[in-house]
Chains A and B, each alone.
Chain A
């Protein structure tokens, strides 16, 4: 009958050795994720294009200048940029092999991400309560969709990071968890970069 991986490892030593096509599975997943990020970039590019076409189509409703409150947005930006930094610290601790600190920095990252999402929801709620809804104008449709898509990405990242933290607590640092942390942090940095564009194109250009 077939053997489980553990049996093979115990009988033949290191499993990588006997993986005779010797493809680095974890490395391939990282490459796959990079390619996924390329396609995600194109997704955001399409949304940005739509936003740029529609940003002046306010249909008599409020424009960005009237709606955006820069202090809140700046706080959001600050939280997210910091979280990107702390996720970098997490990866550094992982390289050092320190699980506790790795999890610690991931928790800090996730909390900052949570602050970001919270502030964004607060912003959205305020806008909606002022009557600036997605149904109001093409500009607002594009605004909520573009910013909301980014927000959904961040939220997804939070769930993902949480799942990884549990796995780290259970399995410690190994090839698989290492790859997972690496990919999640890559994703997190990517969202950061997208946010920088968002901040510039949507908010700064909006209030100018």
Chain B
């Protein structure tokens, strides 16, 4: 009996009212979901329509929902941190709890919010923009999604079971090693990232092949819409950047689980090895998430200025240059760790060089707007707001890239200000622009403008109120990952202002949630399929797109294919043929559950459970390998019926 009690008190996180509150909330929400599904007899529907789907449009929706939930979770973390820092000598959070929160906030925001949001856009848009029926590997696409989902779940349950990771989102050893961090927290981090990382790599391969091989006849690479180009560039980086991350995580896990010595000083290990491998992924990762945002801006600017994008070729070239050069900058994350002046200089210059192609892109966007017929829709608002915001983020980035100066503000709040400016101003604004732009295509109705504008201004004002003071705080000596600070340093008022800003952004987010709920009921329906007078192929089909996307695959004659077709007033040729489609499959879901079981077991050093999970994974793969009945045809009648409705 007492041993059970003992086990439970180690297994469940105890002793903090916030966590008890979360326990209750989790149980209640789970019960509510189970009740609703049972009451409305929706289990079969859930399984058939969603859990087993291989349709890229549905997968996009699932990514989107998951990433918005993670934005909420990461946002709550952010607000908690900002409350704790609002006044000197605060006692709102315990110090260990603060460590866990900045760790999960950073991890979740980058890996479980930005990445899936980006994959949502990939899935929602790319096949439609290139005139394809599907992605190259629909089944693999479902596997990717469920691996991400269960990876995210694994990290999130650490909050109430076992304890969250607390060594920062970078998890540097030796702090994250077994000696200084014996609990399961870091294991949660390592396994969650590994599992979802496999999914990300698979998505990278999937979309690269899709873009290279599935373009509609006639669409040359240099006819592709810029968003598709940005996805291509981002996939190339994924393919090159994720393996080093996998290795870094695996080696740290081997250190922790098997007592190896990659990163422990005692038996000849070298922690710098981890730091290098981590940032060989970590810096390009920033561009993995940033380039698709650039792609969104290009589409939005062109559509809402009613003009062809200015400097298409230079846009493509600059993205490819960024994707290569981003590989030679990783060391700027540890200028101060003793690499020596010449190495630092090389990486400082490489880092600053990225500013050039980025500058080219910004000028191109501005030139596209110049003399255009601009419509200030929500997507356009976010795009215009991005430009000054990212310009400041870029400027502070160059300041950080000056290696000797970095010794001054390394790991200070100046850095926090800089990367939030780049990540929020560049990435989040971009994805939100994409959300508003493609929402009608994904769901068949528009999001309410009035509420959207309110949300926009709350976000914008909140953003500057929150992050501008942080630059000053950095110069005043406030370091990152600080739990509290004494009175009399003069940091109090600026921190309070920053917290107010965080709350304003929180209000913006709540308005957006309300906007979505409101628009589901009252939003303007999109009956034309082309609500913005768009230029690219996704606007040539009904909203939301039918299962097979294109009843007849279009023939493309150049850039902005749909715009050209509209100018020529060409009607669609009528000859419809049966369409080849992949069948749904439950294996991706089940296999990912086994991955989750394995991850959970290994987190607690229960090797039997880890082994069982991995065995399950192997069995799933084996079964799938023997399945030859994986596709079917939609008949002409069915297509005609769907097109008519």
Question: Residues of A with Cβ closer than 8 Å to B?
Answer: 1-5, 7-8, 12, 15, 18-21, 23, 27-29, 31-32, 35-36, 38-40, 42-43, 45-47, 49-50, 53-54, 57-59, 61, 134-139, 141-142, 144-145, 159-160, 163-164, 166-167, 171, 176, 180
Q: Which residues of B contact A57 (CB under 8 A)?
A: 267-270
B209 touches A32 (CB 8 A): yes
Q: Shortest beta-carbon distance, A188 to chain B, in Å?
A: 16
Interface of chain B residues 556 through 590 with chain A (CB within 8 A): 577-581
Interchain residue pairs with CB less than 8 A apart (20): A3-B632, A8-B633, A21-B580, A23-B214, A28-B137, A28-B213, A32-B206, A32-B209, A35-B209, A39-B240, A39-B243, A46-B280, A54-B269, A54-B270, A57-B267, A137-B268, A139-B268, A163-B625, A164-B625, A167-B626
Q: Which residues of A contact B267 (CB under 8 A)?
A: 57, 59, 61, 135-138
Instruction: Tell which of B65-73, B88-96, B246-254, B334-342 binds the partner.
Output: B246-254
Q: Shortest beta-carbon distance, B254 to chain A, in Å?
A: 6
Q: Which residues of A contact B477 (CB under 8 A)?
A: none
- Tell which of B254, B266, B578 touches A12, judged by Cβ atoms closer than 8 Å: B578
A54 touches B578 (CB 8 A): no
Question: Residues of B with Cβ closer than 8 Å to A?
Answer: 132-133, 136-137, 201, 204-206, 208-209, 212-214, 216, 239-240, 242-244, 246-248, 250-251, 254-255, 258-262, 264, 266-270, 273, 277, 280, 553, 577-581, 618, 622, 625-626, 628-629, 631-635, 638
8 residue pairs, one from A and one from B, having the closest CB atoms? A57-B268, A141-B260, A138-B268, A42-B243, A46-B247, A59-B268, A43-B243, A59-B267
A135 touches B259 (CB 8 A): yes
16 extra interface residue pairs, beta carbon distance < 8 Å, beyond A18-B578, A53-B273: A1-B638, A4-B633, A5-B580, A23-B136, A28-B209, A31-B212, A35-B205, A42-B240, A46-B247, A50-B251, A54-B273, A135-B267, A138-B261, A138-B268, A141-B261, A144-B260
Listed residue (A1, A3, A32, A54) with the most chain B CB atoms within 10 angstroms of its CB: A32
Docked pose: A21 CA to B240 CA in angstroms: 30
Q: Which residues of A contact B270 (CB under 8 A)?
A: 53-54, 57, 138
A42 touches B260 (CB 8 A): no
Q: Which residues of B contact A42 (CB under 8 A)?
A: 239-240, 243-244
Nearest A residue to B255 by beta-carbon distance? A141
A5 touches B633 (CB 8 A): yes
Instruction: Given A39-B239, A57-B270, answer yes or no on A176-B261 (Cβ-Cβ < 8 Å).
Output: no
Docked pose: A28 CA to B582 CA in angstroms: 15
Docked pose: A61 CA to B268 CA in angstroms: 10
A176 touches B628 (CB 8 A): yes
Instruction: Given A57-B268, A138-B270, answer yes or no on A2-B633 (Cβ-Cβ < 8 Å).
Output: yes
Docked pose: A49 CA to B240 CA in angstroms: 15
Docked pose: A134 CA to B262 CA in angstroms: 10
Instruction: Given A18-B580, A141-B261, answer yes or no on A38-B239 (Cβ-Cβ < 8 Å).
Output: yes
Q: Which residues of A contact B259 (CB under 8 A)?
A: 134-135
Docked pose: A180 CA to B626 CA in angstroms: 11
Nearest B residue to A148 by beta-carbon distance? B254
B239 touches A171 (CB 8 A): no
B277 touches A46 (CB 8 A): yes
Nearest A residue to B241 by beta-carbon distance? A42
Q: Shortest beta-carbon distance, B540 to chain A, in Å?
A: 16
A20 touches B577 (CB 8 A): yes
Nearest A residue to B263 by beta-carbon distance? A138
Instruction: Given A39-B201, A57-B269, A141-B254, answer yes or no on A50-B262 (Cβ-Cβ < 8 Å).
Output: yes
Nearest A residue to B267 by beta-carbon distance? A59
Instruction: Given A32-B206, A43-B247, answer yes or no on A163-B622 (Cβ-Cβ < 8 Å).
Output: yes
B243 touches A159 (CB 8 A): no
A135 touches B261 (CB 8 A): yes
Q: Shortest beta-carbon distance, A61 to chain B, in Å?
A: 8
Q: Shortest beta-carbon distance, A40 to chain B, in Å?
A: 7
Instruction: Given A12-B578, A50-B251, answer yes or no on A21-B243 (Cβ-Cβ < 8 Å).
Output: no
Docked pose: A59 CA to B266 CA in angstroms: 8
A50 touches B137 (CB 8 A): no
B251 touches A145 (CB 8 A): yes
B254 touches A145 (CB 8 A): yes
- Tell which of A19, A31, A135, A176 touches B258, judged by Cβ atoms closer than 8 Å: A135
B577 touches A31 (CB 8 A): no
B243 touches A2 (CB 8 A): no
Docked pose: A61 CA to B251 CA in angstroms: 20
B243 touches A134 (CB 8 A): no
Q: Shortest beta-carbon distance, A175 to chain B, in Å?
A: 11
Docked pose: A162 CA to B625 CA in angstroms: 11
Docked pose: A163 CA to B266 CA in angstroms: 45
Docked pose: A39 CA to B260 CA in angstroms: 25
B214 touches A54 (CB 8 A): no
Docked pose: A32 CA to B202 CA in angstroms: 9
Nearest B residue to A149 by beta-carbon distance? B250
Docked pose: A63 CA to B429 CA in angstroms: 54
Docked pose: A81 CA to B338 CA in angstroms: 44
Docked pose: A100 CA to B639 CA in angstroms: 44
A47 touches B247 (CB 8 A): yes
B262 touches A142 (CB 8 A): yes
Q: Which residues of A contact B634 (CB under 8 A)?
A: 2
Docked pose: A141 CA to B246 CA in angstroms: 17
Q: Which residues of B contact A31 (CB under 8 A)?
A: 209, 212-213
Q: Which residues of B contact A28 (CB under 8 A)?
A: 136-137, 209, 213-214
Q: Shortest beta-carbon distance, A163 to chain B, in Å?
A: 5
Docked pose: A182 CA to B239 CA in angstroms: 22
B578 touches A3 (CB 8 A): yes
Q: Shortest beta-carbon distance, B270 to chain A, in Å?
A: 6
B260 touches A135 (CB 8 A): yes
A39 touches B205 (CB 8 A): yes
Q: Shortest beta-carbon distance, B264 to chain A, in Å?
A: 8
Q: Which residues of B contact A38 (CB under 8 A)?
A: 239-240
Docked pose: A24 CA to B625 CA in angstroms: 19
Q: Shortest beta-carbon distance, B578 to chain A, in Å?
A: 6
- Tell which of B136, B214, B247, B618 touches A50, judged by Cβ atoms closer than 8 Å: B247
Docked pose: A35 CA to B259 CA in angstroms: 34
Nearest A residue to B276 by beta-carbon distance? A49
Docked pose: A1 CA to B638 CA in angstroms: 7
- Tell which of B239, B255, B264 touches A35, judged by Cβ atoms closer than 8 Å: B239
Q: Which residues of A contact B254 (CB under 8 A)?
A: 134, 141, 145
Docked pose: A144 CA to B262 CA in angstroms: 11
A40 touches B635 (CB 8 A): no
Docked pose: A57 CA to B261 CA in angstroms: 10
Docked pose: A2 CA to B637 CA in angstroms: 9
Nearest A residue to B262 by beta-carbon distance? A141
B553 touches A20 (CB 8 A): yes
- Tell which of A7, A39, A160 touches B242, judged by Cβ atoms closer than 8 Å: A39
Q: Which residues of A contact B242 (CB under 8 A)?
A: 39
Q: Shortest beta-carbon distance, B348 to chain A, in Å?
A: 23
Q: Which residues of A contact B255 (CB under 8 A)?
A: 141
Q: Shortest beta-carbon distance, A145 to chain B, in Å?
A: 6
Docked pose: A86 CA to B213 CA in angstroms: 32
Q: Which residues of A contact B239 (CB under 8 A)?
A: 35, 38-39, 42
Docked pose: A7 CA to B251 CA in angstroms: 51
Docked pose: A196 CA to B504 CA in angstroms: 59
B137 touches A18 (CB 8 A): no
Docked pose: A203 CA to B260 CA in angstroms: 21
Docked pose: A160 CA to B626 CA in angstroms: 11
